[in-house]
Amino acid sequence: KPGEQKHPKEPSALQCMHLAVVACGDRLEETLIMLKSAVLFSNRRLCFHIFAEDSLKPEFEKKLKEWPSSYTKKFESNIYPITFSVGNAQEWKKLFKPCAAQRLFLPVILKDVDSLLYVDTDVLFLRPIDDIWQLLREFNSTQLAAMAPEHEIPKIGWYSRFARHPYYGTTGVNSGVMLMNLTRIRSTQFKNSLIPGGLTWEEMLYPLYQKYKNYITWGDQDLLNIIFYFNPECLYVFPCQWNYRPDHCMYGSNCRGAEEEGVSILHGNRGVYHDDKQPTFKALYEVIRDFPFEDNLFQSLYYPLQSKFLDTVHTLCGRIPQVFLKQIEKTMKKVYENRVIVYLGANHRY
């Protein structure tokens, strides 16, 4: 269609990996640390789409400009106001956390973006975004979004025990890390519980919310579960190491992918970066927060992390430090290999 970008497989769309986040209230620092983790490890250029309250916009602009040029040249950023294209804006704002429902409107607002990765503010990348971006290539012809299961074990999962509305699969899905092919979302007619025929994404959102609002606990995530319950063929499910939360270790380790490969994306939900309930998660957040951009990654990030982890071995999550360290160590080695190759290449002519 005119004006639309090509599929991510094609070179023109490979130039920029689009990352979207919604920040309101006191989430400025958390969002900046998430963006920092993305820039530290990514290989290809990033395009940030930051949806923020008006009061936060100058703060984001100021802080991002303070980063060293060796990193600012790796991304471009766009900051947008919070807007809801259909329904009652005040109702959407009150859905779960302030502004969280904004993510439901990304396909409508970012009309020129083909695909993007949406993440919550409390996410940290422990490997290049390039790796999750590659999963877009694994979508079959009907898949248009990807998320991880909400839980690995149905008998202790929230949806399987308490949900009063339809949800995807046996445990539901978690929307804190969501890969989306926006072009496909915009052009699909979705099956639903409202009318016998299909509805577009934008047509469906508000009536669906009206129908289920008295049964929803987790806001926009519940709406996404309802949508993919009726359209399961549209969802690609990626494994838990791409959205690793305290639930995966606080009841004993139950994310096999993270045990084998290490955590790829850490999701510190329930405020665990800011209290002492899960010191392993807090340690990772603080080490990335405090890392001086131009310093040596091993000396100023990896080694402090190892020593902080020693203080968490008495906790269930802290008993498996290798799960948290495996991927980040691998990623740092690759960063160094790439720098050495670039350095040698630059000096080869002498």
In a domain, 5, yes or no: no
Domain boundary among 238, 270, 299: 238
Domain count, the chain: 2
Task: Name the burial class of residue 125, with classes exposed (0-12), middle (13-18) and buried (19+) by CB atoms within 10 angstroms of its CB.
Answer: buried
Range of the domain at 263: 241-347
Domain boundary among 207, 238, 269: 238
Residue 2 in this model has a pLDDT that exceeds 60: no
Structure tokens at 239: 């494994």
> Confidence band (pLDDT; 50, 70, 90) for 88?
confident
Amino acid in the structure at residue 193? S
Q: Describe the crossing of helices 28-41 and 279-290 by its angle, rounded to 10 degrees.
A: 70
In a domain, 3, yes or no: no
> Confidence band (pLDDT; 50, 70, 90) for 6?
very low
Domain boundary among 189, 208, 238: 238
State whether 206 and 276 are in the same domain: no
Confirm if 305 and 284 have CB atoms less than 8 A apart: yes
pLDDT of residue 5: 39
Amino acid in the structure at residue 100? A
pLDDT tens, residue by residue, 96-124: 566 878 999 999 999 999 999 999 999 99
State whether 134 and 201 are in the same domain: yes
- Record the pTM: 0.92
pLDDT tens, residue by residue, 14-47: 489 999 999 999 999 999 999 999 999 999 999 9
Confirm if 36 and 19 have CB atoms less than 8 A apart: no
pLDDT of residue 217: 82
